[in-house]
Structure 1
Amino acid sequence: MKTISRLEQANDNAAAFWLAQARAHGWQQLVTPRFTAVRCARTPDDAHRIVITRPYGATEPLEDELAALLRDWSTVRLTLEDPYGRLDMTRYGYGHGRAMAVMVREPGPVEPPLLGALPGSGARGGGRLTVDETFDADEFAEVEHAIVEGFPIEAHQPWKRGVMLPGELLWEQGFRAWLGRIDGAPAGACLTYDDGQATGVYWVATLPDHRSRGVARAVLETALAAADPERPATLVATLLGEPLYLKLGFTEHGRTHWWSVPTPPAPAAS
């Protein structure tokens, strides 16, 4: 049996996470030995997703293959994750932003957080913090709303229920959703996906009114404590999220470059 690296496990989990969304939405998908592609189609200009899952040799043949697929799919917007950082899609008109850390926490148990009364008082202090897994459509809609507004995900603002995360995702094996509340009101959320090899963590978010109160940490620790302790946990860290993930035992295993179709400039005001 071939052993794969932690980075490859993280790549595979990300690909499986997007394939689960493809099934829930009814989207076209393509799985190849080197990448997985999902033709997201909530709207005509929705961002298609490609995850490079395995190391590659010469870059030009892969770049040509990806460009041909994107032409065939009439791609207008794109998120292409390249965790090996060697692709150059500029000749096809694509650009890329900041590279982000692919992080892994080695297998092992996680102590659930101590929840309950928060310190302080007033508008942004005090209150009772709880974190629960969501199992029904109404609670899952609260998770979706917290992610869209808290991450934030501008492409899905203003938030519309079920557009980004349809309730059918709750029926996907390995897919779990977590919601943090303060005094019963949604405060933060995250998603996890167990593909049988690793538990991926996605979209850890805190609503603006509840930031810097330990919500993200409590949500993440609760999700990790409920995961299979014999599997690694994987995620792609935003710059703001890295310090928290390091404290929870995650280490960097690579940096992924996210390629996208540049947004055309807005027309000049007349």
Structure 2
Amino acid sequence: MTIIDLADLRSATANAAALWKALGDVRGCDVVQRPGFVGVGGDERAGLRIILQSPSPGADDVAELTELAKGWTRGPVLVEDSYGVVDMSAIGLEPRRLPVMIRRPGEALPPAALEVVRVEREEQLETAERIVVEGFPLSRFQPHRPRQAFPTALLGYDGVELFVVEKDGEPAGACLTVADGTVGGLYWVTTLPEFRSTGIGRALMHAVLGGLLKDLPVTLTSAKAGKPLYDSLGFTTITQSTWWSSP
């Protein structure tokens, strides 16, 4: 596996761990933090998320995360391995590859073509949550039930922000960001199906990259559909991450 810059990848995986620790905190999940990985285990909807944090995790860490994933019984299991150091096939998990990308501060982007609002109130949080659950989608949280995926305590959580974009007066897209002082992370950049191919994702990206995260390198893990947009905005691929998940 080719890695452009190991420091960039460490920053990206640390930012992802910060997101999942924040979600674990507000959802009341169990959090396991080791030098080689972070694990966040919740209820039947949330399941278990494990994020590798080192290109050379210790044998004890690998054994512990493997046993954690193997023995998990509450909901789905996902092991996010951007370093390509574990093989979860022996415990029945299946791999898929997703690009981890980074954009460095540079040329200013045009202002967003649509209104993008930072989420500050509970009703706005519920709107952002609904968009992500229905549009991304987060199938385990469907049908949408308020404050299950994004509990109210996420409002004001240090470093975590959510944004909603409207088109013709209707909520059309949303995303979540995590700024940890070193790098910014973008998560769940979502457009509702009825608004796709109308500039929603680009408006979100212009607003976030030109505002809150304008002075930071920004990382994300891209789905296939989103990669052309991220390429056009100056993101480059660090590596292909392997996501091991339950069938």
How does the TM-score come out when normalised to structure 1? 0.84
Unaligned runs of 5+ in 2: none
Kept in 2, the 8 Å contact 1:24–1:168? The answer is yes
Q: 1:268 aligns to what?
A: none
Q: Deviations over 1:223-250 (max 9, x none)?
A: 1111243321010000011110011111
Q: 2:174 aligns to what?
A: 189
Kept in 2, the 8 Å contact 1:108–1:231? The answer is no
Percentage of identical aligned residues: 36
Kept in 2, the 8 Å contact 1:63–1:89? The answer is no
Using the alignment, how far apart are the partners of 2:33 and 2:66 within structure 1?
16
1:221 aligns with 2:206: yes
In structure 2, relative to structure 1, the CA distance for the partners of 1:114 and 1:259 (3 Å cut) is: closer
* 1:113 Cα offset (Å): 2.6
* 1:4 Cα offset (Å): 6.4
Using the alignment, how far apart are the partners of 2:57 and 2:150 within structure 1?
36
1:31 aligns with 2:16: no
Using the alignment, how far apart are the partners of 1:140 and 1:113 within structure 2?
23
* 1:74 Cα offset (Å): 4.1
Q: 2:80 aligns to what?
A: 81
1:107 aligns with 2:100: no
SS at 1:234's partner residue?
strand
Q: 2:190 aligns to what?
A: 205
Unaligned runs of 5+ in 1: 116-128, 263-270
Report the residue type matching 2:228 in the other structure.
P
RMSD after superposition: 2.0
Aligned length: 243
Using the alignment, how far apart are the partners of 2:63 and 2:33 within structure 1?
16
* 1:111 Cα offset (Å): 2.6
How does the TM-score come out when normalised to structure 2? 0.91
In structure 2, relative to structure 1, the CA distance for the partners of 1:57 and 1:171 (3 Å cut) is: closer
Using the alignment, how far apart are the partners of 1:26 and 1:95 within structure 2?
27
Report the residue type matching 1:56 in the other structure.
S
Kept in 1, the 8 Å contact 2:51–2:80? The answer is yes
Kept in 2, the 8 Å contact 1:8–1:54? The answer is yes
Q: What is the aligned counterpart of 1:21 among 17, 23, 30? A: 23
Q: 1:48 aligns to what?
A: 48
User: Which structure would you say has the larger Rg?
Assistant: 1
Using the alignment, how far apart are the partners of 2:24 and 2:170 within structure 1?
30
SS at 2:131's partner residue?
helix
